[in-house]
Every structure is written in C-alpha cells, then in structure tokens.
Chains A and B, each alone.
Chain A
Amino acid sequence: NAGVTQTPKFQVLKTGQSMTLQCAQDMNHEYMSWYRQDPGMGLRLIHYSVGAGITDQGEVPNGYNVSRSTTEDFPLRLLSAAPSQTSVYFCASSYSGTGVYTGELFFGEGSRLTVL
C-alpha cells in the first residue's frame, strides 16, 4: 500500500530558486493538506484542499502556492525560496466519504528542505 507519497525526500536550494514538492495519494481521499514542521513549533498548516479544484490557505501560506487538478495529486510550489523556508514538509490526506467522518490525517514520509 503506497498511501501518501512525497518526493523528493531531501532537497537543497539556493535563495531565490523555485521548486515543487510533489504529493500523491492512492486512497481516493478528498482532503489533502501541507504542513511544515519546525523545531519547537509543532506542525503548521500551509495550504489545504477539500477536493479537486478547491484550495485554501492555512496558517502560514506566504511564499507557497498549491493547485489541485486531480484527486490524487497536491503539489506545493515554493516560488522564490528563502532560508526561513528551511523545514520538514509533510503532506497529509483524509477521507470524507460515507459514514462517520473522522478527519483523521494520514501523513507522507516528509520532505526535508534546506535553503542556503
């Protein structure tokens, strides 16, 4: 079972460069989201999506773009990388489906990004 797959797992960028973190899930989950994790700050929500074609901002959206053209994919774009974006990024998905909605998130393995 693949679950939530993130690529790349590690990346080093220079300030000002752009890149895309990929996230794909094969569980037919409607909800997907991106978090960043920094020491002492827990996880902070960057962007989220409740379905294909629908995205919204979370707690810390500045400097990041997202789109959701398919149910399976939710890429996160860094437009012009800054050292403050050095972090571990987690993609997560959740199922709304039929029955009781729990909102339980299923996380990918994480992408560790360093911006020099």
Chain B
Amino acid sequence: ELKVEQNPLFLSMQEGKNYTIYCNYSTTSDRLYWYRQDPGKSLESLFVLLSNGAVKQEGRLMASLDTKARLSTLHITAAVHDLSATYFCAVDGEYGGATNKLIFGTGTLLAVQP
C-alpha cells in the first residue's frame, strides 16, 4: 500500500526566510505532484514532476524529485505572507500507469509571519 508522508505538518516562518517541505513515499512511483490549498478553497496545481531529477520553479517555490530516494522537496525562498496556505504532495498510485489514482500526503500548513 502506497503511503505518502509530509513533514513538517505545520510550519510557521518569518517573511524573508527560507525553508523546505519534505514529501516521502513508500513505493516506486515516477510521478509526483504539488498542490496548494487556501482555507475553504479548492486545490490548485503547482508542480508536476515526471522523472527522476526533475526540478521545477515558479516564483519563490522550487520543487524537486528523487525517485531513487522516494523523496520530493518543496523549497521556499524568501517567504512572503501570500505563500501562507496548505501544501500537499501527491503520488501516482500506479507506477508507469495512467489511472488518476493520486495518493495525497496529509498536507503542510504554512504560516508566514510578518
């Protein structure tokens, strides 16, 4: 059974600081996704990582994937208050397949303090 673990679960950080959210998963997978959710809202796709060594960047966020270590990271650079949200990673439940079976981590609640 595929398990996806994120840490930390809660992150309070000051504006201007850097930090990393970690996403570990338990079985082989070659697709990993990062989503953002604002309170009471839907999920917004941030990054799609489709191969080992993939790195994607958008603004102050950068995501990477190491399929050998079964690890993805979401790095936040010089945080700003607008980044406050819950961040989820998700892994495709079928290796090499295409089934829409994304298994989600429990999320990391990020609070950026002025």
Using CB atoms and an 8 Å cutoff, list the residues of chain A in contact with chain B: 31-33, 35, 40-45, 48-50, 58-59, 90, 92, 94, 96, 100-110
Contacts and interface: CB of A to CB of B under 8 A. Distances in A.
A103 B31 contact: yes
B99 A50 contact: yes
Which of A40, A49, A104, A106 neighbours the largest number of chain B CB atoms within 10 Å of its CB?
A: A104
B31 A41 contact: no
Contacts of A42: 4, 88, 104-107
Contact of B43 (A33, A48, A49, A90): A90
A96 B43 CA distance: 20
B106 A32 contact: no
Contact of A104 (B4, B33, B41, B42): B33
Interface string B66-108: 0000000000000000000000101011000011111111110
21 contacts: A33-B100, A41-B106, A42-B4, A44-B104, A45-B93, A45-B101, A45-B102, A49-B100, A59-B103, A90-B42, A96-B98, A100-B50, A103-B31, A103-B102, A105-B43, A105-B45, A105-B102, A107-B42, A107-B43, A109-B41, A110-B42
